[in-house]
């Protein structure tokens, strides 16, 4: 067929060669296959990168930052609450509660629920519980937590009333938990001994502070999961149970304490005094049946009283005891064989001693007194003349044996040691004034224990305020079971001194006839001493008046010591302390059914 000619009709069209078609197909397949492999490789790379990111993040969560995220999870979904321990009770010697823990509640909030209405909820709580509004507002709206304390130790009825008021307004998220409240059922009775618990539930003063470790117990805790503002019923829970505190029994008799406080208050107010203390002691055991102070406070509301009234004046305040100390000097002189109750002493109207002149509280000419008369009339001059037979050291040693110049270790915070300077620092005038109770300082319990040695047949018995044995928070073991004794003077010297003290309460011979108790033999001694001013550190014209005594005089059962500071009615130890002693001692003898001994007091020889 010539070039350019067309095939005839019906002639088949020429076909491509098979080799050419196969090559083209293979090229297309290879192209598609290459693209797929590239895509797979890119995909694998991307997947590997994503997996690497997740792996790195997982390693960070479980390895590096695990604790931080656990803590964050707990903060957001786990609540830990305190399970308060019940504080031990403080009771009197008969088991009557003086300090106890009663039902109370803490008020708590879930800020994730309360934040929206925090302002209105805070207003309700602040008004009803007298709490700080802004502090409540901060707690109610605190982010990132399901639990906040709002108020602690709220009486149960008040706490429930607050929650009910909040719910009446349609607000949620406020709840209560058990939280015992410290209660002092007798209010001011023995408050100076008990102390108190402050607003932060910390022990303040007295037995609460000294025995806090014993009384407090150990709080427990509960941890549980929350979700949506509610506790998850089947969530993780762990609980450490609280351990209640141990009780503390005092030697105090609540009824005697109450009566002693009321009599002391009358004595201080009646004399327009500044303050006062009274001590009631069992002569044989040294146990304190009452330890009263005035002014005092309500232990349920300590914040309403001045700070100076919150402690125990009977153990903290020091003062010069005055003429009560004369019985210590006299018994020491008798014990040493220097004098007898009938030793004759010529008492001049005044006694020059170096550059000083010693006077008696009453004006007189020359007197001829026995030692009994010196005690009955409370002559400073006569005491100085008798004590001049002692060396400085001999008198000092006796007074130390009577417990002066050292703490009793009774177990009360802040007890003072008093002041008895070393005998090496004494001049003659120092010994003279110390012999009749000036120039030496004591606290009320210290002086009561010293006079009690005479009542106890010459044996000093250390005073106790805790029944049995107890360890203070500082590790000191105290209590009646640890009480110690030592002889100060002979039984004979103590008996003769007690007889001289009976002359003081004899209306015909002594300075405190009003202190006597009908039907009983009563031994006593008045005291009037100048007070040292806190500003000038000098005698400022004010006085301390006191009376110490015991009954029955020939078979002592109780000792009572009454002290009034700065009376302004012109009275002394006999006219102020004597009547108070009479009331308290009469009450004791009747309450404890102490019979009269039936013996008659000897007729004292006052003059010669």
- Provide the b/e sequence for 408-427 (b: ≥16 CB within 10 Å): bbbbbbebeebebeebeebe
Task: Give how far Cα 600 sits from Cα of 265, 518, 522, Å.
Answer: 33, 12, 11
352: left (phi over 0), alpha (psi -120 to 50) or beta: beta
> How high does pLDDT run on average in the chain?
88
* Sign of the Cα pseudo-torsion (297, 258, 450, 528, in order): positive
Task: Return the residue matching tokens 């120092």.
Answer: 430
User: pLDDT digit string (tens) for 516-525?
Assistant: 999 999 999 9
* Residues whose CB is less than 8 angstroms from the CB of residue 145 and which lie 6 or more positions away in sequence, other chains included: 75, 111, 112
pLDDT mean over 412-438: 94
pLDDT at residue 93, as a whole number = 97
pLDDT at residue 144, as a whole number = 77
Asked whether 217 and 245 are in contact (CB, 8 A), the reply is yes
Name the least confident of 40-44, 105-109, 123-127, 509-513: 40-44
Question: If pLDDT is split at 50, 70 and 90, which confidence band does 259 have?
Answer: very high
More confident residue, 67 or 339: 339
* Residues whose CB is less than 8 angstroms from the CB of residue 545 and which lie 6 or more positions away in sequence, other chains included: 271, 322, 526, 527, 528, 563, 564, 567, 571, 572, 573, 576, 577
Q: Which residues pair with 78 in a beta bridge?
A: 225
Question: Sheet containing 174-178: which strands, arranged edge to edge?
Answer: 148-155, 104-109, 174-178
Token pair listed for 34:
């290459």
The ranges assigned to domains in the chain are 104-179, 254-300+313-591
Say what percent of the chain tops pLDDT 70: 89
pLDDT mean over 147-164: 87
Helix (H, G, I), strand (E, B) or coil at 67: helix
**Which residue, among 570, 553, 431, has the nearest Cα to 501 in the 3D structure?**
553
* Residues whose CB is less than 8 angstroms from the CB of residue 500 and which lie 6 or more positions away in sequence, other chains included: 327, 330, 341, 371, 372, 375, 376, 604
More confident residue, 359 or 354: 359
Asked whether 126 and 162 are in contact (CB, 8 A), the reply is no
pLDDT mean over 94-99: 96
Asked whether 204 and 310 are in contact (CB, 8 A), the reply is yes
pLDDT at residue 2, as a whole number = 46
Q: Is pLDDT at 473 greater than 60 in this prediction?
A: yes
In the DSSP assignment, the letter for residue 551 is E
User: pLDDT digit string (tens) for 475-499?
Assistant: 999 999 999 999 999 999 999 999 9
**Which residue, among 478, 531, 490, has the nearest Cα to 336 in the 3D structure?**
490
254-300+313-591 carries CATH number 3.40.50.970: no
pLDDT mean over 315-323: 95
104-179 carries CATH number 3.40.50.880: no
pLDDT mean over 401-428: 93
pLDDT at residue 4, as a whole number = 47
User: pLDDT digit string (tens) for 356-399?
Assistant: 999 999 999 999 999 999 999 999 999 999 999 999 999 999 99
Name the least confident of 149-158, 340-349, 565-574: 149-158
Say what percent of the chain tops pLDDT 90: 67
Strand stretches in 341-423, DSSP E? 344-347, 351-353, 356-358, 367-370
pLDDT at residue 275, as a whole number = 96
Q: Is pLDDT at 273 greater than 90 in this prediction?
A: yes
Q: Is pLDDT at 11 greater than 60 in this prediction?
A: no
Phi, psi of 94 (to 5 degrees): -100, 10
How many Cβ atoms sit within 10 Å of the Cβ of residue 432?
24
Describe the crossing of helices 326-335 and 491-502 by its angle, rounded to 10 degrees.
140
Question: If pLDDT is split at 50, 70 and 90, which confidence band does 1 have?
Answer: very low
Q: Is pLDDT at 65 greater than 70 in this prediction?
A: no
Q: Is pLDDT at 456 greater than 60 in this prediction?
A: yes
Token pair listed for 366:
């020359």
Q: Is pLDDT at 431 greater than 60 in this prediction?
A: yes
Q: Is pLDDT at 157 greater than 50 in this prediction?
A: yes
DSSP characters for 106-175?
EEEE-HHHHGGGHHHHHHHHHHHHT--HHHHHHHHT-TT-S-EEEEEEEEHHHHHHHHHHHHHTT---EE
* Alpha carbon distance 197, 532 (integer Å): 34
* Alpha carbon distance 470, 449 (integer Å): 21
* Alpha carbon distance 276, 266 (integer Å): 10
């Amino acid at each position: 067929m010539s070039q350019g000619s067309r095939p005839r009709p019906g002639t088949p069209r020429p076909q491509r060669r098979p080799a050419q078609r196969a090559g083209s197909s293979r090229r297309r397949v290879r192209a598609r296959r290459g693209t797929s492999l590239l895509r797979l490789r890119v995909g694998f790379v991307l997947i590997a990168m994503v997996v690497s990111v997740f792996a790195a993040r997982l390693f960070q969560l479980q390895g590096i930052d695990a604790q931080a995220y656990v803590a964050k999870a707990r903060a957001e979904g786990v609540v830990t609450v305190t399970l308060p321990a019940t504080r031990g009770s403080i009771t009197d010697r008969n088991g009557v509660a003086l300090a106890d823990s009663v039902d109370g509640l803490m008020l708590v909030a879930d800020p994730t629920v309360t934040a929206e209405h925090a302002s209105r909820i805070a207003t309700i709580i602040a008004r009803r519980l007298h709490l700080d509004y802004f502090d409540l507002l901060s707690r109610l709206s605190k982010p990132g937590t399901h639990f906040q304390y709002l108020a602690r130790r709220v009486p149960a009825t008040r706490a429930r009333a607050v929650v009910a008021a909040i719910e009446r307004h349609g607000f949620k998220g406020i709840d209560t938990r058990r939280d015992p409240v410290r209660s002092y059922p007798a209010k001011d009775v023995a408050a100076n001994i008990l102390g108190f618990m402050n607003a932060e539930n910390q022990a303040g003063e007295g037995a609460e502070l000294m025995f806090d470790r014993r009384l407090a117990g150990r709080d427990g805790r509960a941890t549980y999961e929350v979700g949506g503002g509610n506790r998850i019923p089947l969530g993780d829970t762990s609980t450490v149970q609280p351990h209640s505190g141990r009780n503390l029994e005092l030697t105090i008799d609540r009824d005697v304490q109450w009566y002693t406080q009321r009599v002391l208050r009358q004595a201080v107010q009646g004399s327009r005094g500044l303050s006062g203390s009274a001590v009631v002691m069992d002569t044989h055991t040294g146990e304190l049946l009452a330890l009263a102070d005035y002014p005092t406070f309500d232990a349920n509301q300590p914040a309403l009283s001045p700070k100076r009234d919150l402690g125990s004046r009977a153990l903290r305040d020091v003062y010069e005891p005055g003429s009560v100390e004369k019985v210590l000097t006299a018994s020491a002189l008798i014990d040493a064989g220097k004098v007898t109750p009938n030793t004759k002493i010529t008492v001049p109207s005044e006694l020059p001693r170096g550059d000083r002149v010693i006077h008696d509280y009453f004006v007189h000419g020359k007197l001829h007194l026995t030692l009994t008369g010196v005690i009955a009339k409370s002559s400073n001059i006569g005491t100085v003349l008798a004590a001049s037979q002692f060396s400085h050291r001999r008198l000092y040693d006796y007074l130390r044996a009577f417990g002066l110049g050292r703490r009793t270790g009774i177990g009360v915070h802040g007890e003072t040691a008093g002041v008895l300077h070393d005998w090496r620092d004494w001049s003659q005038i120092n010994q003279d004034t110390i012999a009749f109770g000036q120039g030496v300082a004591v606290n009320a319990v210290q002086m009561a224990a010293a006079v009690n040695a005479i009542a106890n047949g010459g044996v000093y018995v250390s005073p106790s305020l805790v029944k049995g044995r107890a360890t203070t928070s500082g590790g000191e073991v105290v209590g009646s079971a640890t009480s110690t004794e030592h002889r100060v003077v002979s039984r004979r010297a103590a008996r003769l001194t007690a007889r001289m003290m009976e002359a003081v309460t004899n209306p015909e011979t002594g300075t405190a006839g009003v202190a006597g108790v009908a039907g009983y033999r009563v031994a006593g001694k008045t005291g009037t001493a100048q007070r040292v001013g806190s500003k000038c550190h000098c005698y400022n014209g004010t006085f301390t008046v006191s009376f110490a005594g015991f009954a029955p005089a020939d078979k002592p059962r109780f000792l009572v010591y009454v002290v009034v500071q700065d009376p302004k009615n012109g009275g002394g130890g006999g006219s102020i302390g004597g009547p108070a002693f009479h009331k308290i001692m009469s009450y004791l003898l009747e309450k404890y059914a102490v019979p009269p001994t039936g013996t008659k007091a000897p007729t004292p020889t006052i003059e010669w």
